[in-house]
Amino acid sequence: MARSTPKTGAQIHFRVDGELLKAVDQRIKEKGVRTISAYLRKLVEKDLSAVPDEDRIDELVTLIGANHNRLTGLLRNLAMAQRAQFALLEASAKAMLSYLPPPGPDSADLLRARGKERYDRVLKSAEEASLQFLDQLLTQFEGRETEKGKHGSKKSV
């Protein structure tokens, strides 16, 4: 059978041991490739067209940095929303306490002291519960951003 394309180009020859030759023959049968030369040519072409590891690592670093920035923004938004909710709760409690009808003359001081004590407890527990945790998270993420900025500026050539 005549070949449709003439043989051109350089040839590469190398020796292999018997074990490697058996493994290559087995792989050729699995893949359904006609000849060893065709199989090796495909391997070389695949290797040459592959993206180098350094480029993949740079892509991953960029992706991780973008995810980090997005997460930091989400945490900031969450912190602002929680602070707004807390301010609304505080304003509602103040309004409710200020518009309650005055009690009788003998128990006014006692009720006022109890109300202030309850208000202070709500204020203290709300501050301790959420705001400190979010502030810690934000400080950690902002610290990592500044570290990334320091390390990112040192690019090797």
Residue 54: how many CB atoms within 10 A of its CB? 8
Length of the chain: 157
Residue 145: the pLDDT is 63
Residue 148: the pLDDT is 59
**Residue tagged 């180009």 (tokens):** 9
Report yes or no: 97 and 57 within 8 Å, Cβ to Cβ.
no
Whole-angstrom Cα distance, residue 98 to residue 26?
Answer: 88
Domain membership flag for residue 85: yes
Residue 154: the pLDDT is 46
Q: 79 and 104 share a domain?
A: yes
Residue 155: the pLDDT is 44
Hey, what are 23's tokens?
Answer: 């493994």
Q: 45 and 100 share a domain?
A: no
- Domain that includes residue 26, residue range: 18-49
Q: 59 and 104 share a domain?
A: yes
Residue 67: the pLDDT is 92
Question: How many domains is the chain built from?
Answer: 2
Q: 22 and 78 share a domain?
A: no
Q: 64 and 41 share a domain?
A: no
Residue 15: the pLDDT is 87
Hey, what are 90's tokens?
Answer: 């505080």
**Residue tagged 């400080």 (tokens):** 139
Q: 58 and 127 share a domain?
A: yes
pLDDT digit string (tens) for the chain, length 157 residues: 455 666 677 788 888 899 988 998 999 899 888 888 888 888 888 888 877 777 888 888 999 999 998 998 899 898 889 889 988 988 888 888 787 776 666 677 777 788 888 888 887 877 777 666 677 777 777 776 666 555 554 444 3
Q: Which of 27, 49, 71 is the last residue of a domain?
A: 49
| Closest to 142 (Cα-Cα) out of 75, 82, 87, 95 | 75
Residue 115: the pLDDT is 83
Hey, what are 139's tokens?
Answer: 């400080």
Residue 130: the pLDDT is 66
Q: 118 and 143 share a domain?
A: yes
Q: 66 and 143 share a domain?
A: yes
Residue 149: the pLDDT is 58
Whole-angstrom Cα distance, residue 70 to residue 64?
Answer: 10
**Residue tagged 């900031």 (tokens):** 76
Rg of the chain (C-alpha set): 36
Residue 111: the pLDDT is 76
Longest Cα–Cα distance of the chain, Å, equals 117
Q: Which of 29, 49, 69 is the last residue of a domain?
A: 49
